[in-house]
Amino acid sequence: MNPEQPPSSLSPLLASRRSPWSFDTDAEVGDRALAAVLEAARWSASSGNTQPWRFLVGRRGDAVFEKIYGTLRPRNRTWAGGAGVLLLTVYDLGGDRPLRHAQYDVGQAVAHLSIQAGHEGLVVHQMAGFDPDAAREAFGIPAGFVPCTVVALGHLGDPGSLPEDLAARQARPRTRRPLAETAFTEWGVPLDLDRPPG
Ligand SMILES: Cc1cc2nc3c(=O)[nH]c(=O)nc-3n(C[C@H](O)[C@H](O)[C@H](O)COP(=O)(O)O)c2cc1C
């Protein structure tokens, strides 16, 4: 995969979104911005409008943040403590009427949250690297609900504050599989698009 920039056709909020590791530990996430990103998630689409997502929200320095932080894999602990907010995302399995798309829906809600975060001047870094059983235990999450991801939210910080390997990763150009290997007309047959470069 070749390193590349997102094309200029992307909305600036989408083009500038990325998952940085460095957070500004001096800057707090204000109530207004936090409410805005949570509203963005709340107003995203879901299968049958079932809204299977739930969020446990911790702010740096409070007990909820510490509990979420305590479930992270060691690698993620090296940087995620700098975020202003840690969110534990959870989805509802739906009980007697299973929600087959619950995981899809929670992902989409977080995608909306991430774009709203960009609008608020904030950055987001999602994590699968946490212990869902520990999260269930820490928050008494009932059967029928599943801890899904942890989301770090905050202000972008100086990469100089990161461990060397993460600073190098953050500086590295991003890569994506080409569109021709992603969008097909028949399986494996690329969609033929006439489009200007960039
Ligand atoms: C569901 C999910 C889980 C992820 N888990 C981790 C993680 O545990 N630790 C980490 O550093 N990054 C994690 N990431 C970030 C991805 O590595 C990142 O989104 C990907 O490399 C693309 O980079 P970009 O978001 O900057 O475009 C995760 C992203 C998603 C969507």
> Has residue 183 been placed in a domain?
yes
- Token pair for 75: 């690698």
- Mutation test of ligand 1: which of 23, 114, 125 has the most ligand atoms closer than 8 Å to its C-beta? 125
> Has residue 2 been placed in a domain?
no
> Has residue 113 been placed in a domain?
yes
> Has residue 4 been placed in a domain?
no
Range of the domain at 114: 12-190
> Has residue 76 been placed in a domain?
yes
67: CATH:
3.40.109.10
> Has residue 197 been placed in a domain?
no
Residue 24's pLDDT band, with cuts at 50, 70 and 90, is: very high
- pLDDT for 196: 66
Q: Does the beta carbon of 174 lie inside 6 Å of ligand 1?
A: yes
Distance (Å) of CA 82 to CA 10, 20, 121: 29, 11, 16
pLDDT digits (tens, 9 = 90+) for 34-46: 999 999 999 999 9
Q: Does the beta carbon of 41 lie inside 6 Å of ligand 1?
A: no
pLDDT digits (tens, 9 = 90+) for 79-117: 999 999 999 999 999 999 999 999 999 999 999 999 999
- Mutation test of ligand 1: which of 69, 77, 114, 127 has the most ligand atoms closer than 8 Å to its C-beta? 127
| Residues contacting residue 36 through CB under 8 Å, at least 6 positions apart | 116, 119, 120
Angle between helix 63-70 and 132-139 (nearest 10)? 150
Q: Give me the number of domains the chain comprises.
A: 1
